[in-house]
């Protein structure tokens, strides 16, 4: 139940970011060298995404990075808090 709440909260946060900055924002989980979509809003602008490592197991992808760059530290902090909340 705890993990479901985490994913739900994370999905809501990423949905809000996507609407606010008009860009795709999603997180993939690492499995060795392979990445698998975890949660978020998939890309829709066909722009190359910015890849940002979040800890050892997750990668954040942001489409149209220039719009969101100023608040990146705050966004990463919030995502880490949601992912690590038990």
Residue 85 inside a domain? The answer is: no
Alpha carbon distances (Å) from 26 to 5, 7: 17, 12
Q: Does any domain span residue 55?
A: yes
With respect to residue 12, please indicate whether it lies within any of the assigned structural domains: yes
Q: Say how many domains are in the chain.
A: 1
pLDDT at 1: 42
Domain range spanning residue 22?
2-78
Domain membership of residue 84 (yes or no) is no
Residue 6, phi then psi, degrees to nearest 5:
-60, -45
Q: What is the pLDDT of residue 16?
A: 93
- Residue 86 falls within a domain, yes or no? no
Contact indicator for 12, 25 with CB cutoff of 8 Å: no
pLDDT confidence of residue 5: 56
Query: pLDDT tens across 30-68, in order?
Result: 999 899 999 998 777 788 899 999 988 899 999 888 878
Q: How confident is the model over 69-83, as pLDDT tens digits?
A: 888 999 999 999 888
pTM given for the model: 0.85
């Amino acid at each position: 139940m705890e993990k479901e709440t985490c994913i739900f909260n994370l999905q809501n946060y990423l949905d809000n970011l996507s609407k606010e900055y008009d860009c795709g924002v999603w997180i993939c989980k690492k499995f060795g060298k392979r990445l698998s979509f975890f949660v978020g809003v998939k890309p829709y602008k066909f722009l190359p995404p910015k890849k940002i490592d979040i800890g050892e197991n997750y990668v954040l992808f942001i489409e149209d990075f220039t719009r969101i760059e100023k608040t990146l530290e705050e966004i990463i902090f919030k995502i880490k808090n949601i992912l690590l909340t038990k």
